[in-house]
Chains A and B, each alone.
With several copies, the nearest count.
Chain A
Amino acid sequence: MILLTQDAIDYHALTESVRSPNSGAVVLFLGTVREMTGGRRTVALDYEGYPEMAQAKLAELETAARERWPIDRVGIVHRLGHLELGEISVAVAVSCPHRQQAFEAGKFLIDELKVSVPIWKKENWDDGSTEWVHPSGELPPPV
C-alpha cells in the first residue's frame, strides 16, 4: 500500500497489512513532528506534496527495495497538510523473512523517500514565523 493522505495515519492498520506467516520480521518506522530543532521550537509543520509524482516515486522506491531484499509486503503512507507537535508525518512498514533484511529495507525506504519523493515541509516556529525547509540538495541520483 502506497498512500498520500490528509488524515491521521493509522499505522496500526498499516502494520497489520504487512504481517504474514511468510515473514519472521516486521519493521515499522514512524516520522513524527519533533519540538526542538537546533535550539528552535516548532509548534507545527505544514506538508505539501506533488501527488502524482510522489506516488510514482514511492512506487519506484518499492521496486528498488524489492530488487535488493526479499521483501514480503510493504506499506508507505505520507501525510500532507497541517500537523501538530507529535503527530505522525510518515509511516513505512516492511516485512521480510529475517530481521536484518527488514531493518535494511525499512531504512532504505525512508532514507530514499527523504531525498527523492516530492514532498516539502514548512516550519511553524514558536515566534510566529514560518520557513520552508529546503535542504541544499543536488538532483537525487536514480535509485
Chain B
Amino acid sequence: MLTVKLFAKARDLVGSPIIQIPWSDGDTVGRLKLALSERHPSLLPLVPRLLVAVNNDYAPDSLKVRTSDEVACFPPVSGG
C-alpha cells in the first residue's frame, strides 16, 4: 500500500488527512491520480488541478513511486 498525505481542500473532500492506495513499486504519479479518482470520487472536481509531491518535491506524471516514498496530494498552493 502507498501512504498518501492530503492537504487543504483535497483532505476536506476525502474526509481524512492520510489515505492508503494499493500499490506496486514502479507505478507512476499518473497512475496514482487515476487511482485517487476511482477510489475517492469526491476528489474528481479537483483532479485536473491536483498536484503530487514525492519526497518533498513536485512530481511529474511520469515519475515512478515506491511505497517507501513520502507522497502527498494537494490543490494549487495559495499561501503568502
Q: Do chains A and B touch in the complex (CB under 8 A)?
A: yes
Q: Is the CB of B79 within 8 A of A121?
A: yes
CA A114 – CA B77 in complex, angstroms? Answer: 7
Q: Are A137 and B79 in contact (CB under 8 A)?
A: no
Binds B, one of A12-20, A48-56, A67-75, A100-108: A48-56
Contacts of B47 in A (CB 8 A): none
The reply on B72 being an interface residue by CB < 8 A is: yes
Residues in A with CB closer than 8 Å to B74 are 50, 118, 120
Find the residue from A89, A90, A110, A137 having the highest chain B CB count within 10 A.
Answer: A137
Query: CA–CA, A78 to B80, complex, Å?
Result: 7
Number of B interface residues at 8 Å Cβ cutoff, please give it.
22
Evaluate contact between B76 and A135: CB separation under 8 angstroms: yes
Minimal beta-carbon separation of A76 from chain B (angstroms): 11
The reply to whether A136 and B79 contact each other, CB–CB distance below 8 Å, is no
| A139 CA to B53 CA, complexed, in Å | 10
* Count of A-B contacts judged by CB separation below 8 Å: 85
Chain B nearest CB, measured from A5 CB (Å): 13
Given contacts A110-B80, A113-B79, A114-B80, contact A137 B49 (CB under 8 A): yes
Chain A's interface: helix, strand, loop or mixed, by majority?
Answer: mixed
Question: Which residue from chain B places its CB closest to the CB of A114 in the assembled complex?
Answer: B80
| Most chain B beta carbons < 10 A, residue from A118, A135, A136 | A118
Whether, in the assembled complex, A134 has its beta carbon less than 8 Å from a beta carbon of chain B, the answer is yes
Query: Is B40 an interface residue when CB atoms closer than 8 A count as contact?
Result: no
Give the CA-CA distance A102 to B51 in the complex, in Å: 30
In Å, the complex CA distance between A115 and B70 comes to: 21
Top 6 closest pairs, chain A to chain B, by CB: A119-B79, A137-B76, A120-B8, A114-B80, A132-B9, A133-B78
Known: A50-B53, A122-B8, A133-B78. 15 other contacts (CB 8 A): A48-B8, A52-B70, A53-B57, A53-B72, A89-B80, A118-B77, A118-B79, A119-B79, A119-B80, A120-B8, A121-B78, A132-B75, A134-B75, A134-B76, A137-B49
